[in-house]
Structure 1
Amino acid sequence: MTRPRRLLLLVAGALLLGLMLFFAISRATPYEETIEHGPAPEVRSNPYLAAERFLTDQGRAVEHAQGIGGLTETKDSRQVLLLLGERSTMTPAQAERLLHWVDKGGHLVFVAERIWDENAGSSGDLLLDALNLQQHEASEKPDDSHVADGAANAEKRPVLTRLYLENENAPAYLAFDTNYHLYDAGGSAHAWANSASATHMLQLRHGSGLITALTDSWIWQNDAIAQYDHAWLLWYLTQDRDVTLIYRTDHDGLLQRLLRYFPEALSAALLLLLLGCWHAAQRQGPLLEPANRGRRQLREHLRGSADFLYRRAGQRHLIATLQNDILRQAQHRHPNLVALDHAGLCKVLAQLSRTPIEAVTHAMRSSLDRKMSNADFTRQVARLQSLRNAL
């Protein structure tokens, strides 16, 4: 192919590619697309972050605490404590200190956790029981929980909770969970908020302080605080006071944190542990057969017993045992043998066994002057055995 022809093909290809790009661009339609990545990590970790930001914008000094341990000793009584977290780990001493802090002028806002148990006469919620408050399911509240007059019965109550204030023409509307009802068993509440079938907020005096009990606190979470009058209620309860917010009273343990933040590392460590156990459990070498329990003979047992006594008791004990055995054998034929002296004893044994008296005297020596060699010990034992057999 000549050079001019090659150049012409390249120009034609570039022109064709340009036309195709122009056609694609002319047919393309621009559009906008919003990709939701979900809430930020700080929002996911703090369900009341919007409430904190709202209070900060209102000029409140907001603090966030992780637990109630030692909190009442360090906090000023002129504060509002929003206790919105789960309180199953609260101790009676902590509840007593908390109420004492309220008694000095603090304002406690907490969420009722337990349902009233008629059989037990308590709910198990330390704060509710101490304040003589009860939480019931809306369908199971007492018949005398509240008495409505004819005008109130004629009015069709809304699903939302209404909060009426003095000098206000319209109530505040709140979206509490209508499945639960707060009952003031002690009759000490001076303010409350009701829905169509239940009471969801009670406020009562406690010493110089104030206590507000709620059936739930989800109205102040990030996705609900902007609805109805939820933000206004938070402002109303915390006005002119600094705020301490507690929405989590328990802490994750080490294992829970490891599972949350290092699942891959834990999986690798577990796999390594399993491989190590498998390697350590491998059998090295051939399998050994169990020993035969009946392979030893009587002679081996006797030899083993004799070796043990020789090592532990010594020569004197073995020889003395043989001598005592000879005396027991001779007593059957000469009952007064034990009353004789050593010379008389040897003489009688010589007569009974028809053995020379020198051999009997040597064999029946009362003690050994020195430790004998193995050969001398064997000969001495042989003499005693011969004398015993002769009897």
Structure 2
Amino acid sequence: MTHRRMASIGAFVMLALSTGWLISHLERVPVTYREAPQAEARRNPYLALERFTARMGGQLTRRPDARIIDRLPAGGTLFLDRQRAHRLPPERLHRLLAWVEDGGYLIAVAERPGVADPLLDHFGVRHLEPPPEAPRERQHVLEVTPPGALRPLRVDARWPGLEAGGRQPDWSTGERTEGGGKQILHFNLGRGHLTIASELDSQWSNQRIGAMDHAELYWTLLSAHDRSPQPQVLLLSRLQMPTLFDWLLENAGAACIAAATLLVLWLWRIVPRFGSVQPEMPPARRELREHLAAVARYLWRSGALATLLVPTREHFRSRLALRQPGIAACSTTLQVSALAARSGLPAARIAAALDGRVETPHAFTDALRTLRDLERQL
């Protein structure tokens, strides 16, 4: 056996021993790392809460339409997000509270300080600002102990606490050290329950549901107050009002259909029909007298009577020069006298027709009539 073959066998044995040692001493373990939010997580800030609810045996449905409040199913849980001031008119708020009194469970996120909140105003709940002498550094972590919790739960707390006004809550938790106030206020309404809490939208969002005890707080509240066999949660987030078209169809459907039908019929009546092109009629040839008549009508409407009388006077003088050149050669005064003696017409009328000013339609027609009569006499 050559020296080279001995070296190859020794290297192979060492590789086999090293591989066996690595297999026996190394262990495969899972590694968890966070990825950037994907499209679905960016679109739905409560996607993690929805999957957590399904994993625990419940069901969470997210809706953005505020009109669902008007037809909530009996029982179950409604999680009402912020930005609802203009979506809760008095009549809708009354129907919502009636649903709670009938056995529903409402979890409402308190609006930010300074933002109108009809639900909080109805119960006299307000944000409690810390006094000026309180330390500026607020407590960012609170311990809350809702009914059913086996231990105090740690949650985020960055907003001012809540304080009940006229009606006192049946229980509250999460007291702050600076300025007082509570994190959670709970009211029993008839056969149902209402929980008003601060910052739930942040605590139960995709970014914070897994931090501290936020998920445990969520499930503890559901387990204590949701009467369904399996928690059924309806989440109203990013509430939107129906568009004008949807509102019209819902409230004035018959009128909209009638208006659309009339519009279609009107368009059918006025829109040109498509078919074979008809031959165009040859343009009618106008006569000269029609053009002259149109010019005369325009001058008559414009008040240019003297302009219309000029060609008539010139025509009469040319006829006079042909028939009576002796009279035509005389002055205007002698012409008037001669024509008056020959025709029997008044001299003043003849003078006005030959050289007078024409300012009215009556004077114009009288001058034309006089010149016609004189031409006939010639």
Q: TM-score, normalised by structure 2?
A: 0.52
Which letter does structure 2 place at the counterpart of 1:87?
A: R
Count of aligned residue pairs for this structure pair: 236
Residue in 1 that maps onto 2:153: 172
Alignment of 1:165-314 (within 5 A): 165=146, 170-177=151-158, 179-192=159-172, 193-197=174-178, 198-217=181-200, 218-239=202-223, 240=226, 241-250=231-240, 308=298, 310=300
Q: What CA deviation, in whole Å up to 9, does each residue of 1:279-319 have, x standing for no partner? A: xxxxxxxxxxxxxxxxxxxxxxxxxx98645258999xx99
Deviation at 1:209, TM superposition (A): 1.4
In the alignment, the residues of structure 2 paired with residue 355 and residue 138 of structure 1 have an alpha-carbon distance, to the nearest angstrom, of 122
Q: Which region of structure 1 is more displaced relative to structure 2, 161-170 or 181-190?
A: 161-170
Q: Does 1:360 align with 2:331?
A: no
Q: Does 1:134 align with 2:131?
A: no
Residue in 2 that maps onto 1:81: 78
Q: What CA deviation, in whole Å up to 9, does each residue of 1:124-176 have, x standing for no partner? A: 311111122112434579x9xxxxxxxxxxxxx96422223468674111112
In the alignment, the residues of structure 2 paired with residue 167 and residue 222 of structure 1 have an alpha-carbon distance, to the nearest angstrom, of 25
Q: What CA deviation, in whole Å up to 9, does each residue of 1:176-201 have, x standing for no partner? A: 22x31211012420222223233221
Q: SS at the partner of 1:231?
A: helix
Which letter does structure 2 place at the counterpart of 1:234?
A: Y
Residue in 2 that maps onto 1:45: 43
Residue in 2 that maps onto 1:55: 53
Alignment of 1:14-53 (within 5 A): 38-53=36-51
Q: SS at the partner of 2:86?
A: coil
1:72 touches 1:101 (CA, 8 Å); kept in 2?
A: no
In the alignment, the residues of structure 2 paired with residue 169 and residue 124 of structure 1 have an alpha-carbon distance, to the nearest angstrom, of 35
Q: Which runs of 5+ in 2 are unaligned?
A: 1-31, 245-294, 310-335, 351-363, 372-378
Which letter does structure 2 place at the counterpart of 1:195?
A: R
Residue in 2 that maps onto 1:21: none
In the alignment, the residues of structure 2 paired with residue 213 and residue 62 of structure 1 have an alpha-carbon distance, to the nearest angstrom, of 19
- The alignment yields a C-alpha RMSD, in angstroms, of 4.3
Q: What CA deviation, in whole Å up to 9, does each residue of 1:31-90 have, x standing for no partner? A: xxx9976111111111111111111111112212112203341422x1110112421331
Q: 1:229 to 1:74 in 2, by over 3 A?
A: same
Which letter does structure 2 place at the counterpart of 1:359?
A: L
Q: What CA deviation, in whole Å up to 9, does each residue of 1:226-285 have, x standing for no partner? A: 11110011101222531111221027989xxxxxxxxxxxxxxxxxxxxxxxxxxxxxxx
Residue in 2 that maps onto 1:10: none
Q: 1:361 to 1:102 in 2, by over 3 A?
A: farther
Deviation at 1:213, TM superposition (A): 0.8
Q: 1:252 to 1:105 in 2, by over 3 A?
A: closer
1:159 touches 1:196 (CA, 8 Å); kept in 2?
A: no
Q: Which runs of 5+ in 1 are unaligned?
A: 1-33, 117-122, 144-156, 255-304, 320-349, 365-376, 385-391
Q: SS at the partner of 1:99?
A: helix
2:83 touches 2:239 (CA, 8 Å); kept in 1?
A: yes
Q: SS at the partner of 1:66?
A: strand
Q: SS at the partner of 2:177?
A: coil
Which letter does structure 2 place at the counterpart of 1:81?
A: L
Q: 1:378 to 1:89 in 2, by over 3 A?
A: closer
Deviation at 1:378, TM superposition (A): 9.4
Identity %: 27
Q: 1:103 to 1:136 in 2, by over 3 A?
A: same
2:60 touches 2:233 (CA, 8 Å); kept in 1?
A: yes
In the alignment, the residues of structure 1 paired with residue 76 and residue 148 of structure 2 have an alpha-carbon distance, to the nearest angstrom, of 26
Q: TM-score, normalised by structure 1?
A: 0.50
Which letter does structure 2 place at the counterpart of 1:222?
A: N
In the alignment, the residues of structure 2 paired with residue 79 and residue 225 of structure 1 have an alpha-carbon distance, to the nearest angstrom, of 21
